[in-house]
Amino acid sequence: MAKLAPLGAVPLGDCAVYVEFSKTLDLEVNSAVQRLATMLHGRALPWIRDVVPALGGLAIHFDPDHPALSGDALTAALNTVSDCLKEGLPKPGDVLRTVEVPVCYESEFAPDLAEVAALAKVAPEEAVQLHSTSDYRVLMIGFAPGHAYMGGLSPKLAVPRRAAPRAIVPAGSVAIANDQTVVYPYAISGGWSIIGRTPLAVFDAERQEPSLFAAGDRVRVKPISRAEFQKLVGK
Amino acid sequence: MSIQVVRPGLLMTVQDIGRHGHQHVGLCPGGAMDPLALTLANALVGNEHGAAALELTVLGPDLLFERDSLVALVGAEFEADMPINRPVLVARGSRVSISRAARGARGYLAVAGGIAVEEVLGSRSTYLPGGFGGLDGRVLKRGDLLPLAPESAKLSRERFAALKHKDKRGSSVRWSVPPLTVPDREPIVLHAIEGEHFGDFDANMQRVFFDTVWRVTPDSNRMGYRLGGPPLTRSKTDEILSGPTCLGSVQVPANGVPIALMADHQTTGGYPRIAEIASADVPRLAQIAPGGTVHFARTTLDMAAELRKDTRTRMETMLRGIAWEYGK
């Protein structure tokens, strides 16, 4: 790909900056943004509070009055980004993590599967097959802790968002909309079509690594039965 | 031994200065909505600035203290049967009754040694959307017992003994700290820099944004403040790629009602961001109750830095004064 260069830097108030690389979703740029974020995290600069990779760029949240800073934080943040880019980003293969997610597609966990299959003009079994054999990438984490937006859904399953969002979607619900799939970390409201459920805790604040997913992860689905689901619940 | 919640008030939670370093997995820092008031409350009882305290909202609680406790209630001007904005030694077995906030929206009740709930991801703050931190990750209710530090009674008595200028009753002092963040009058002025999508709104809409006196709507909460006024419409119709947000971002959803992002905000969002509130002004916004009014003033990053510096200078002066009263 072409050399990664920021389109610009937009101050997010006086304690953060958004460094933008693309205004549209470009998977190569997205992957580079994740690796840049990994690199920035690795620098562990005391005045940087958070590095948040998103779809087309990343935010650096900083303490503008940190004693370790000599000049202004915004300039320092942008200098750090250009240093990283000059040094060269890690290769995708060096930082790629693969997360396997067991998903049960049985009807009690998949209220919208029949509708999705009808819209896609395939049998429900084929819809499950399409969903469970795709190779996903986490494009961004947002909306709720651990809530991963994953790209790579089969175009055949690209259904629009539901007209009326559900007030409560059960935790672990696996849902799709447009060209993406998500797993709801908590019982929250949501407007995507639910086609399965994972027994895993997507976000557990008590766990060493609270979030099951990180931006940039490769995600594989493993279809499981009801019995396997019950065995894995809460693990 | 602990503090017992006899009547919980409106929305009382345990909060400290929050948990930084987890926004990349979608978890915002959270913590006290008004961290300046929290810092002062902690200083008044001799705690380090980030200790966990009770965050009170608009209507305060009745609390039963099971042991001698040095406490301070700072922030909104709550009507209470104890003096506010100063250290108070509450005797074992006493009940403290706090009613409504006459001015401001949030108060912080700090106790010597801090509220000793377990830390989760480096903070004792309650994160309501995720249901963790604080006491069982939830709003406090009647009958709850809030754990205190093991030596809190001894700590309370020792610290109170060190204070100069005691009052006649011997349970408080003859001075108080002025509220840093509670407004004298409304609308308050919020300094704001242009957001990434400011230019997506036409000149008329931009003028409306800065000319309007916005009213904080009742569905405002720790995640965001919704601002009632004339609807803001974006001239551009192209989709915005979801991007990161920040404490104090003002986003405008399709219904035209701006939302100012507060402590428990989402870390990313797909709505246009018209403005970003200067960080020094966010704690002042946290002191506006639903129905209260705000006004935006266009500012620059340099001005935002000046505002931060002013706040820091005032805070440092107060902290020095409090340390002096403790004989330090």
**Alpha helices, DSSP H only, in chain B?**
35-44, 152-162, 203-211, 282-286, 301-325
The three-state (H, E, C) secondary structure of chain A, written as one string: CCCCCCCEEEECCCCEEEEECCCCCCHHHHHHHHHHHHHHHHHCCCCEEEEEECCCEEEEEECCCCCCCCCCHHHHHHHHHHHHHHHCCCCHHHHCCEEEEEEECCHHHCCCHHHHHHHHCCCHHHHHHHHHCCCEEEEEECCCCCCEEEECCCHHHCCCCCCCCEEEECCCEEEEECCEEEECCCCEEECCEEEEECCCCCECCCCCCCECCCCCCEEEEEEECHHHHHHHCCC
B104 domain residue, yes or no: yes
What phi and psi values does residue A150 have, to the nearest 5 degrees? -115, 135
The pair of three-digit structure tokens given for residue B78, joined into one six-digit string: 């709550």
Distances in Å between the Cα of B270 and the Cα atoms of A55, B114, B243, B244, B273 are: 11, 38, 6, 9, 9
**Do residue B174 and residue B200 come from a single domain?**
no
Residues in chain B: 328
Between helix A73-87 and helix A27-43 the angle, nearest 10°, is 110
Between helix A113-120 and helix A124-132 the angle, nearest 10°, is 90
- CA-CA distance, A143 to B267, in Å (whole number)? 7
Torsion (CA) B315, B318, B324, B326 in degrees, nearest 10: -90
**Do residue B176 and residue B192 come from a single domain?**
no
Place of tokens 């948040």: A52
Residue of A52, A95, A147 to mutate when probing chain B, most B C-beta within 10 A: A52
Could you say which DSSP state residue B121 is in? T
B249 domain residue, yes or no: yes
Between helix B35-44 and helix B301-325 the angle, nearest 10°, is 10
**Do residue B102 and residue B124 come from a single domain?**
yes
ipTM: 0.94
CB-nearest to A53 from B24, B245, B248 is B24
Distant-in-sequence, close-in-space partners of B310: CB < 8 Å, separation ≥ 6: B280
CB-nearest to A140 from B195, B248, B268 is B268
Is pLDDT above 90 for A55? yes
Could you say which DSSP state residue B166 is in? B
Could you say which DSSP state residue B65 is in? E
Is pLDDT above 80 for A2? no
Tell me the nearest-neighbour CA distance from B93 into chain A, angstroms: 35
CB-nearest to B305 from A14, A143, A146 is A14
Place of tokens 């345990």: B14
All structural domains of chain A with their residue ranges: 8-87, 98-232
- CA-CA distance, A76 to B73, in Å (whole number)? 39
**Do residue B130 and residue B163 come from a single domain?**
yes
Residues of chain B neighbouring A143 (CB-CB closer than 8 A): 26, 266, 268
Residue of B22, B120, B246 to mutate when probing chain A, most A C-beta within 10 A: B246
CB-nearest to A55 from B242, B278, B312 is B242
The answer to whether residues B19 and B125 touch, using CB atoms and an 8 Å cutoff, is yes
The helix/strand/coil state of B237 is: coil
Q: Identify residue B324 by its one-letter amino acid code.
A: W
B320 domain residue, yes or no: no
Residues of chain B neighbouring A50 (CB-CB closer than 8 A): 20-24, 29
CATH number at residue B230: 2.40.100.10
pLDDT > 70: percent of chain B: 100
**Do residue B29 and residue B173 come from a single domain?**
yes
Closest listed residue to residue B217, CA positions, set B251, B182, B259: B259
Categorize the per-residue pLDDT at B226 as very low, low, confident or very high, splitting at 50, 70 and 90.
Answer: very high
Q: Please write the tens of the pLDDT for every residue from A32-48.
A: 999 999 999 999 999 99
Is pLDDT above 60 for B295? yes
Q: What is the pLDDT of residue B237?
A: 81
Categorize the per-residue pLDDT at B327 as very low, low, confident or very high, splitting at 50, 70 and 90.
Answer: very high
- List the single range of B150-159, B231-240, B261-270 with lowest mean pLDDT: B231-240
Is pLDDT above 80 for A5? yes
**Do residue B137 and residue B8 come from a single domain?**
yes
Q: Identify residue B71 by its one-letter amino acid code.
A: V
**Do residue B165 and residue B66 come from a single domain?**
yes
Tell me the nearest-neighbour CA distance from A123 into chain B, angstroms: 32
- CA-CA distance, B146 to A94, in Å (whole number)? 47
Residues of chain A neighbouring B197 (CB-CB closer than 8 A): none
**Class of domain A98-232 as given by CATH:** mainly beta
Mean pLDDT of A165-194: 92
Residues of chain B neighbouring A25 (CB-CB closer than 8 A): 241
Considering chain B, what is the average pLDDT of its residues? 96
**Do residue B197 and residue B132 come from a single domain?**
no
Q: What is the pLDDT of residue A126?
A: 97
Chain B nearest-CA residue for A64: B305
B239 domain residue, yes or no: yes
**Do residue B164 and residue B206 come from a single domain?**
no
Q: Please write the tens of the pLDDT for every residue from B173-216.
A: 999 999 899 999 999 999 999 999 999 999 999 999 999 999 99
Q: Please write the tens of the pLDDT for every residue from A117-164.
A: 999 999 999 999 999 999 999 999 998 999 999 999 999 999 988 888
Cβ-defined contact of B266 to A25 (cutoff 8 Å) = no
The pair of three-digit structure tokens given for residue B307, joined into one six-digit string: 């505002």
Distances in Å between the Cα of B59 and the Cα atoms of B52, B171, B260, B297 are: 20, 24, 23, 30
- CA-CA distance, B254 to A165, in Å (whole number)? 16
B317 domain residue, yes or no: no
The structural domain count of chain B equals 2
Q: Please write the tens of the pLDDT for every residue from A86-115.
A: 999 988 877 789 999 999 999 999 999 999
Q: Please write the tens of the pLDDT for every residue from A199-224.
A: 999 999 999 999 999 999 999 999 99
The answer to whether residues B117 and A173 touch, using CB atoms and an 8 Å cutoff, is no
Structural domain that includes position B31: 2-180
pTM of the complete model beyond 0.90: yes
Chain B nearest-CA residue for A202: B25
Strands B273-277 and B293-298, by their bridges, are unpaired
CB-nearest to B246 from A15, A142, A206 is A15
**Do residue B226 and residue B250 come from a single domain?**
yes
Cβ-defined contact of B131 to A186 (cutoff 8 Å) = yes
**Class of domain A8-87 as given by CATH:** alpha beta
Cβ-defined contact of B193 to A14 (cutoff 8 Å) = yes
Q: Please write the tens of the pLDDT for every residue from A67-87.
A: 999 889 999 999 999 999 999
Q: Please write the tens of the pLDDT for every residue from B85-133.
A: 999 999 999 999 999 999 999 999 999 999 999 999 999 999 999 999 9
